[in-house]
Structure 1
Amino acid sequence: MKVFISVDIEGITGVTSWNETELGHHEYNWAVNQMIKETIAACQGALEAGAKEIIIKDAHDYARNLDISKLPKEASVIRGWTSSPESMMAGIDESFDAVIFIGYHSASGENGNPLAHTMDSKKCTWLKINGEIASEFTINTLIAAYYGVPVVFLSGDKMLCENSKRLVANIETVAVKSGVGGATFNIHPDRACELIKEGVKKALKNIDLCRIEPPKNPVLEIRFKDHQDAYRAKYYPGAKLIDGYTVEYQAKDVLDLITARMFIL
């Protein structure tokens, strides 16, 4: 069994402030250490479930967060950005059996996490696919589906875990925290790791229950915080300015959608 793991930080237990997510900031060290621990827990669960190969995409900020020397030797890690439209899913293809998301967070336009955002926290008010608010979980699950690979497990904030069921009804989730205003209510870091390990083991026994079909001709909408960014984005071939802040793009398929997203946002 070959497993792909995409890891972010804003949905890691305890992480509450942007300072804790920024490489080089003094508040970052403990947060990235917990990010590593939760990633290790996911790897352990996958290995105990029978995984023979694990590919991890470091998918936060500069994508150089994980200390690869601390990870199980069965895991390989993709660091940095490939500049391909798959972005946080760079490296995914049809050869994988399952996908796991660790440390994911609520979307721009939602209040489930003080650090809620979608792709670009400085530019995006919200991003929609087929009229529905889309998180990075949504986008990356559709990417996995495009390649025929089911997303079987998610850890992150409570709102995201609850909303994930709309797209993948049988996905296994572990909510490590919930957001209230600018605060987070967190489970103990060690408990988070225990639940992630066991959740991944359980999820990998039910892979086929998590398969979904990628949408055909999906519609992408992006609401920008700055009207100048929207005006610039309208010049992407096929993009339309809906109002002063919103751009719409009718895609042929998921790959077309994420390619447009890469250049527009």
Structure 2
Amino acid sequence: MKILISADMEGATGVTWPGDVLPGTPQWERCRGLFTSDVNAAAVGFFEGGADEVLVNEAHWSMRNLLLEDLDERVEMLTGRHKSLSMVEGVQHGDVDGIAFVGYHTGAGMEGVLAHTYLANQITGVWLDDVRASEGLLNAHVAAEYGVPVVLVTGDDLACEDALGYAPEALKVAVKDHVSRYAAVCRTPVRTAADIRAAAKEATELAVRQEPQNAGPFTVAVEFDAEHLALAVTVVPGVTRIGERKVAYTADTMYEGIRTFKAVTTIASSAVEEQYG
């Protein structure tokens, strides 16, 4: 049995503000250990539940945040950027039985600690077939196309609530409770590691590969905080403006949908002009 862990940082233990997750800052350096603790706890729990392999896919920012030397020796880690499926790279090869979303968060425009969707600021909302979408929702649809169920989600309490919509059967572990976008009531890493480990062990039972699901076509809409970003991303084939600050596109599969979304966000981020956005 093989488990893929998609590891994001905003939903990690103790993380509450940008300085905790921006590479190169003193607080990021400190929080790397907390992030690694959450991921390692999940991996150990999956091994205890009967997994033979655990692959961790780094999914935050530069995708070079986890401390490899602090992970269980049985874990393998995929680190670095420019991967075909970004946050869920590795799910497409037909050998993954279940996927865990560790350190996840709510989406742009939602309540939640460090809530966003791919871009930290410029996106104010994403919708998948008219449903407001988080990264978890988007990535769960990608995994479903390869028959891989989401078996575990960790993050703040609102991220766990969000996961009820896209992975109702998955185990959920709240490592902190939302107070505002930049504040939370946090549990200690000793406590969260124990909770994540126990949940991962139980979640292993849910790691049963399913028939691939293709619920497409999908319509994805993205709203930005400035109209010039909406204009900029229309260079991506199939992306059209549907409002002053909003664009949309349709994809036959979520494989295509997430890759187009990646192109849209990459272009939008390159079109940001310093403090004016």
TM-score scaled to structure 2, two decimals?
0.91
Classify the secondary structure of the residue corresponding to 2:91. Answer: coil
Cα distance in 2, alignment partners of residues 62 and 180 from structure 1: 27
Cα distance in 2, alignment partners of residues 2 and 54 from structure 1: 6
1:82–1:90 CA contact under 8 A, matched in 2: no
In the alignment, residue 107 of structure 1 is paired with which amino acid?
Answer: G
1:151–1:211 CA contact under 8 A, matched in 2: no
1:12–1:176 CA contact under 8 A, matched in 2: yes
CA deviations on 1:105-137 (whole Å, 9 max, x unpaired) are 111111121x11000113211111011111111
1:142–1:254 CA contact under 8 A, matched in 2: yes
Task: Name stretches of at least 5 consecutive residues in structure 2 with no aligned partner.
Answer: 266-277
* 1:213 Cα deviation after fit: 3.6
Task: Name stretches of at least 5 consecutive residues in structure 1 with no aligned partner.
Answer: none
209-218 vs 99-108, which deviates more? 209-218
Per the alignment, residue 261 of structure 1 pairs with 261
In the alignment, residue 137 of structure 1 is paired with which amino acid?
Answer: G
Per the alignment, residue 119 of structure 2 pairs with 120
- Structure whose residues are more often helix by fraction: 2
Check if 1:136 corresponds to 2:124.
no
Classify the secondary structure of the residue corresponding to 1:14. Answer: coil
Per the alignment, residue 153 of structure 1 pairs with 152
Per the alignment, residue 241 of structure 1 pairs with 241
CA deviations on 1:21-63 (whole Å, 9 max, x unpaired) are 1222111122110111111101110110111111101111111
Cα distance in 2, alignment partners of residues 180 and 212 from structure 1: 38
Check if 1:166 corresponds to 2:148.
no
Check if 1:216 corresponds to 2:216.
yes
* 1:212 Cα deviation after fit: 8.4
Cα distance in 2, alignment partners of residues 133 and 74 from structure 1: 37
* 1:82 Cα deviation after fit: 2.9
Check if 1:232 corresponds to 2:227.
no
Check if 1:199 corresponds to 2:199.
yes
Cα distance in 1, alignment partners of residues 227 and 117 from structure 2: 18
Cα distance in 2, alignment partners of residues 19 and 74 from structure 1: 31
Per the alignment, residue 49 of structure 1 pairs with 49
Per the alignment, residue 71 of structure 1 pairs with 71
Classify the secondary structure of the residue corresponding to 1:166. Answer: helix
Check if 1:110 corresponds to 2:98.
no
Percent sequence identity over matched residues?
30
Classify the secondary structure of the residue corresponding to 1:220. Answer: strand
2:57–2:88 CA contact under 8 A, matched in 1: yes
Per the alignment, residue 12 of structure 1 pairs with 12
Cα distance in 2, alignment partners of residues 147 and 20 from structure 1: 33
Q: Within 5 Å, which residues of 2 pair with 1:86-105?
A: 86-93=85-92, 94-105=94-105
Classify the secondary structure of the residue corresponding to 1:238. Answer: coil
Classify the secondary structure of the residue corresponding to 1:16. Answer: coil
In the alignment, residue 56 of structure 2 is paired with which amino acid?
Answer: I
Cα RMSD, aligned residues only: 1.6
Cα distance in 2, alignment partners of residues 250 and 223 from structure 1: 15
Number of equivalent positions: 263
